[in-house]
Amino acid sequence: MLKKIKALSIGILLGIVSLSASAHFVVMYTPQTALLRASDVPMHIVFTHVFAGGPTYDMEMPERFYYTYQQGAFSFPEEVDLKPYLEEIEWHDGDRTLKAWRADIPRDVMRSLGDYQIVIEPEPYWEEEEGLYIQQFSKVMVNVGGVGGNWLQSLGLPAEIQALNKPYANWTGGVFRGVVLSEGLPVPFTQVEVEYMNHPPNLDENMFQEEPLIEAPHPSLEAIIISTNEFGEFSFAMPKAGWWGFAALTVGPERELNGEFLSQDAILWVQATDLPE
Ligand SMILES: [Cu+2]
């Protein structure tokens, strides 16, 4: 870890740390996204580098935090504000303490069977070191009871990853597919960064587990870069159970804020589950 930080600071000195070297992700973490029945859903929201488990950034209260839900094909999607459940927490990253969020979404707010697309639209974040604003439109999906719903629906966000597989229903080794969208339109030949949540959160301590789950022999396996095809689609086989973050950077329409570069990114969280023995 220390070695890595040292290498990183040398990289910064030499100016060779590129945006894609190891991207930051808005983490939306809940222990289980495929729920058998309606349950309380605890969620942690932290802005960090997921494979390395840090460094973590302060995160301001999201501009919007909500879910969309749709019962069957013949009804209107319903949007429910989840901001009332947000609570600021202190996140520990080594000896630093950072601002993060926890939401305890009560059972009766996600009571019906089906899919819940949970979305964060954050304020642009000024990233001092990289010298740019970052705004990551982030999604995770929770299913209650195995009944399908609006998992396939694109929400028309400025930057979005539309799922072509249910993000909560993937065996380990299964191929996950998605489409990168900019204001609802596919983005061909754009890079998608895939990172494994190598330091899962310790929810009682408000920190990332110190021990990594895997060691990567090369940086290109820490932040795996793939590309969309001419239709904006990508696919990735997830080799290990747990959480996989997909990030498409700078795909949103806005590129500037206060005279500085603004990166409008799309994040989608996908859970892979081992076959039972
Ligand atoms: Cu970063």
Give 194-219 pLDDT, tens digit per residue: 999 999 999 889 999 999 999 999 99
pLDDT in tens, 152-161: 999 999 999 9
**How far is ligand 1, taken at its centre, from the CA of residue 56, in Å?**
9
- Give the pLDDT of residue 129: 86
**How far is ligand 1, taken at its centre, from the CA of residue 24, in Å?**
4
8 pLDDT above the threshold of 70: no
Identify the band that residue 60 occupies on the pLDDT scale cut at 50, 70 and 90: very high
**How far is ligand 1, taken at its centre, from the CA of residue 80, in Å?**
30
**How far is ligand 1, taken at its centre, from the CA of residue 117, in Å?**
25
Interval 149-175 mean pLDDT: 97
**How far is ligand 1, taken at its centre, from the CA of residue 148, in Å?**
35
Burial 118-134 (b: 16+ CB within 10 A, else e): bbbbbebbebeeeebbb
**How far is ligand 1, taken at its centre, from the CA of residue 114, in Å?**
34
**How far is ligand 1, taken at its centre, from the CA of residue 55, in Å?**
8
Please say whether the beta carbons of 235 and 204 come within 8 A.
no
Rounded to two decimals, what is the model's pTM? 0.91
**How far is ligand 1, taken at its centre, from the CA of residue 49, in Å?**
6
250 pLDDT above the threshold of 70: yes
Tokens of 188: 């061909």
**How far is ligand 1, taken at its centre, from the CA of residue 131, in Å?**
10
Interval 111-122 mean pLDDT: 96
- Give the pLDDT of residue 169: 98
Rounded to whole angstroms, the Cα distance separating 201 from 53 reads 9
The alpha carbon torsion through 201, 204, 207, 212 (nearest 10 deg) reads -50
Please say whether the beta carbons of 230 and 222 come within 8 A.
no
> In sequence order, which residues have a C-beta less than 8 Å from that of residue 5 and are 6 or more positions away?
none
**How far is ligand 1, taken at its centre, from the CA of residue 151, in Å?**
29
At which residue do the structure tokens 């058998």 appear? 36
Rounded to whole angstroms, the Cα distance separating 155 from 85 reads 22
- Give the pLDDT of residue 79: 95
Rounded to whole angstroms, the Cα distance separating 35 from 124 reads 32
Tokens of 39: 């349950």
- Report in angstroms the alpha-carbon separations of 209 from 198, 204, 277: 9, 11, 26
Share of the chain above pLDDT 90, in %: 86
**How far is ligand 1, taken at its centre, from the CA of residue 268, in Å?**
17
How many Cβ atoms are within 10 Å of 145's Cβ, its own excluded? 12
- Give the pLDDT of residue 277: 87
- Give the pLDDT of residue 235: 98
- Give the pLDDT of residue 71: 83
Across the chain, mean pLDDT equals 91
Interval 72-78 mean pLDDT: 82
Please say whether the beta carbons of 163 and 268 come within 8 A.
yes
pLDDT in tens, 143-153: 999 998 999 99
**How far is ligand 1, taken at its centre, from the CA of residue 10, in Å?**
15
Rounded to whole angstroms, the Cα distance separating 183 from 77 reads 18
Please say whether the beta carbons of 122 and 63 come within 8 A.
yes
Tokens of 252: 């949103």
At which residue do the structure tokens 């799309």 appear? 266
SS3 158: coil
> In sequence order, which residues have a C-beta less than 8 Å from that of residue 217 and are 6 or more positions away?
none
Ligand 1 ion: Cβ-proximal residues, 5 Å cutoff: 24
**How far is ligand 1, taken at its centre, from the CA of residue 265, in Å?**
12
**How far is ligand 1, taken at its centre, from the CA of residue 130, in Å?**
7
**How far is ligand 1, taken at its centre, from the CA of residue 5, in Å?**
13
**How far is ligand 1, taken at its centre, from the CA of residue 197, in Å?**
15
